[in-house]
């Protein structure tokens, strides 16, 4: 059955059974008991309002990873525009000197706001957690901006 959580002025978040959310300083953590990781959501007020949502989502994703010195292949970013909402997703495995790390990062954007969602794990623990995380992100609804 799950539950719906509303973050005023931002989003409706739909959590499947067994998933919980909690607010931390400036972000939300979504967790599931016994799950090897978590999803982090961060809300962002867009500064650049001239770009269409998909392009804004891509720019935010690229800028965020560059600021954090995270190596990523630009060609792996997938951008989608749908009903006034843009998304940019990066899904890849980084094989460094230590254990490999799987990154899936989403940026969702509407006309004035954006949301970053991040799932980072050891690739050995992706199934079925990554599919569940992807479903949660896909079901997020932006609450319409009353200033439009």
Question: pLDDT tens digits, residue range 119-128?
Answer: 877 777 667 7
Q: Which run of H or of E encompasses 27? A: strand 27-32
Please tell me the predicted confidence (pLDDT) of residue 25: 86
Q: What angle do CA 22, 26, 28 make, to 5 degrees?
A: 25
Cα 91 to Cα 79: distance, rounded to the nearest angstrom: 12
Is residue 144 a contact partner of residue 12, using CB atoms and an 8 Å limit? no
Please tell me the predicted confidence (pLDDT) of residue 43: 93
Number of separate domains in the chain:
1
In a domain, 147, yes or no: no
Higher per-residue confidence, 101 vs 49: 49
Question: pLDDT tens digits, residue range 111-144?
Answer: 999 999 998 777 776 677 788 888 999 999 999 8
CATH assignment of the domain containing 70 = 3.40.1000.10
Cα 13 to Cα 1: distance, rounded to the nearest angstrom: 14
In a domain, 126, yes or no: yes
**Residue 106 is part of which domain span?**
3-36+48-142
């Amino acid at each position: 059955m799950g539950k719906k959580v509303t973050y005023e002025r931002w989003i409706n978040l739909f959590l499947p059974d067994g998933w919980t959310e909690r607010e931390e300083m400036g972000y939300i953590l979504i967790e599931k008991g016994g799950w090897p990781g978590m999803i982090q959501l961060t809300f962002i007020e867009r500064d650049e309002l001239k770009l269409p949502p998909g392009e804004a989502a891509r720019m935010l994703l690229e800028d965020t990873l560059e600021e954090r010195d995270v190596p990523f292949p630009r060609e792996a970013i997938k951008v989608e525009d749908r009903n006034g909402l843009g998304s940019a997703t990066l899904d890849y495995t980084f094989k460094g000197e230590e254990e490999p790390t799987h990154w899936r990062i989403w940026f969702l954007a509407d006309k004035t706001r954006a949301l970053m969602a991040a799932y980072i794990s050891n690739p050995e623990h992706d199934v079925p957690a990554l599919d569940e995380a992807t479903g949660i992100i896909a079901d997020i609804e932006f609450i319409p901006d009353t200033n439009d």
